[in-house]
Amino acid sequence: MTAAIDIKGWCPGARRPMPSGDGLIVRVRPHGGALTVVALRALAEAASRFGNGQIDLTRRANLQIRGVSSETLMPLWELMASLELLDDSAEAEAIRNIVINPLAGLDPAEIIDMRPVAAALELQLAADEELRALPAKFGFALDGGGRLALAALAADVRLAAFFQDQQCRIALGLGHADAVTWLGTVTFPQAAAAAVKVARGALHYSPTKRAAALSPDAITAIATELGLEASVAIAPSPSSGVTSRQRQGVIVLTDETCAVGLGAPFGHVDSDALARLAALLVASDVSEVRLSPWRTLYVAARPDVAEQLVADAAELGLIVDDADPLLRVDACSGSGCCPSTRLATREHARMLAGDIARTRFPGTLHVSGCAKGCARSAAADLVLVGEDDQYCIVRNGTAKSEPSGVLDPADIGLTSHRLFRSRESVHV
């Protein structure tokens, strides 16, 4: 049986997969940012059975199965439905764009466990059909604070826990550019409904239906409708005093519990490695995996198994150290996955990561198969942009910026270290 595919947008879903050079991309949106290890294993196996075995972790804390065909989409949907990971429609799925802290409910330093708010928000969004007119990228960030806060995550609607007058409070804000306009504070029971009302306000007042395009008058109107005062000064950012810069490896939570952060290089992991990770987690008595917007998986583990888990995950190719230069490298899927390039971008990026370590280059690298720059929209210190069979070199820019030189891929590993030492225009 062949599934009827509704391919309309460029933002993939499960009900609305996105065609790519290697087949359909099917996005899985875990509820509350969590998957059981059983579900993780089933999805890893599904990625090789129904796709090409390639899996992406996204910056919205989702997981994508690549290389799915119109014939294998239906059995993949059936599997996702059995795991309660398939929405009724593409529209209901698209609005369920919620990110919460990956250590919610695990981190003793968090201010508020946002999981109940996320669950309530999911239900209310699903019930409000009007909100399905919001753009696919309209998103919610629910930041309960703690070690892995979400202060840097862009979102249209933000709920952020903070301390004030020795009480836990939740600030409600609208995201635009790199800033947030705080509308006021809401109580824990009010939080989900208030976020929905703000989304409805963006739908009605914003010319783009995104929070960033709301005028000051529109923001005031939304705040007034909520009984809040948009001019109230709120500073909800990391207020527990324990926000950690550590994201990979063992993060001690209590005497009895650690979090283990396992990063996916370039946000990519293959189905075999993910299935083997799931088996390791089962053997370590871990039952749940959390996804994060920085493409690192988190699990809670006893201290006596956490170090071994890290060592085993490193063997699988996962990132377990914040000093790993791969964390500063973005690369798109490249040849074999995308018809827009003949360049093996990820293979080249891995080789260049070695040069980053050797030259102690402190910046960021983006290796892009073409000027579309799918892997990174923000500027990077060094960008290699594929053009035919070579790379154009951009410094301090994006894949669309003016290049200052060229790099022959055949020279990677031979002379490419010069790239990380020179700040001038260069041909290597």
Would you say 269 and 65 are in contact if contact means Cβ atoms under 8 Å apart? no
Helices 271-283 and 303-315: angle between axes, nearest 10 degrees: 160
Beta strands in 103-165 (DSSP E): 140-143, 157-164
101 binds ligand SF4 (CB under 6 A): no
The CB-nearest residue to ligand SF4 is 369
Record the tokens describing residue 9, joined without a space: 């947008």
Residue type, 163: F
User: Residue 339 or residue 363: which is nearer to ligand SF4 going by CB?
Assistant: 339
| Least distance in angstroms from the C-beta of 66 to ligand SF4 | 11
273 binds ligand SF4 (CB under 6 A): no
User: Residue 145 or residue 334: which is nearer to ligand SF4 going by CB?
Assistant: 334
**C-alpha radius of gyration, the chain, whole number:** 22
User: Residue 368 or residue 416: which is nearer to ligand SF4 going by CB?
Assistant: 368
Pick from 371, 374, 354, 373: which is nearest to 419 by CA?
354
Residues 349-408 contacting ligand SF4, CB under 6 A: 368-370, 372-374
48 binds ligand SF4 (CB under 6 A): no
Phi, psi (degrees; rounded to nearest 5) at 68: -80, 145
Residues 328-347 contacting ligand SF4, CB under 6 A: 332-333, 338, 340-341
With CB under 6 A as the rule, give the number of residues binding ligand SF4: 11
- Burial readout 224-259 (b: 16 or more C-beta within 10 A, e: otherwise): eebebebeeebebebbbeeebeebbbbbebeeebbb
| Least distance in angstroms from the C-beta of 378 to ligand SF4 | 14
3-state DSSP assignment of residue 222: helix
The residue behind tokens 């739908």 is 203
12 binds ligand SF4 (CB under 6 A): no
| Least distance in angstroms from the C-beta of 339 to ligand SF4 | 7
| Least distance in angstroms from the C-beta of 330 to ligand SF4 | 10
Record the tokens describing residue 419, joined without a space: 């790239």
| Least distance in angstroms from the C-beta of 21 to ligand SF4 | 7
The residue behind tokens 């990971």 is 85
Residue type, 148: L
3-state DSSP assignment of residue 25: strand
| Least distance in angstroms from the C-beta of 340 to ligand SF4 | 4
| Least distance in angstroms from the C-beta of 11 to ligand SF4 | 14
User: Residue 200 or residue 372: which is nearer to ligand SF4 going by CB?
Assistant: 372
User: Residue 305 or residue 380: which is nearer to ligand SF4 going by CB?
Assistant: 380
Q: What is the largest CA-CA distance in the chain?
A: 64
User: Residue 101 or residue 368: which is nearer to ligand SF4 going by CB?
Assistant: 368
Return residues touching ligand SF4 (CB under 6 A): 332-333, 338, 340-341, 368-370, 372-374
